[in-house]
Amino acid sequence: MTRVYAAADVALLRTLAQDEPVTPERFTAASQGEEDEYDALLTVAEQGAVVVCAELDDADAPIRLSDVQSFHLDADGSGDLAWYAPQELDEVIELLGD
């Protein structure tokens, strides 16, 4: 399994919510070390409103909601990324608004 990080907007999240596959640009960490994983997360956070963290058998495969491990976003404008479970996708979409 490979952990990938992808930037997402509301449209992409709505597609995931409909259990449709998405193929955003994705990044992998330089290693499985905590610091490299965090660096990958922050790099992707600069590119979109939400970071989707997914685990895939093939790093180039489309991402489905069942692959998603977590969502990360700056929910309160503090610059800190909040963690959301896949089951909280509707709340993440609501936080972003239209």
Q: Work out the percent of the chain whose per-residue pLDDT is above 90.
A: 87
* pLDDT at residue number 98: 60
d(CA 52, CA 30): 17
Residue 70 clears pLDDT 90, i.e. is over it: yes
**What are the extents of the domains in the chain?**
2-96
For the stretch 29-64, pLDDT in tens is 999 899 999 999 999 999 988 999 999 999 899 999
> Which pTM was predicted?
0.92
Mean pLDDT of 8-21: 96
* Residue partners of 34: CB distance under 8 A and separation at least 6: none
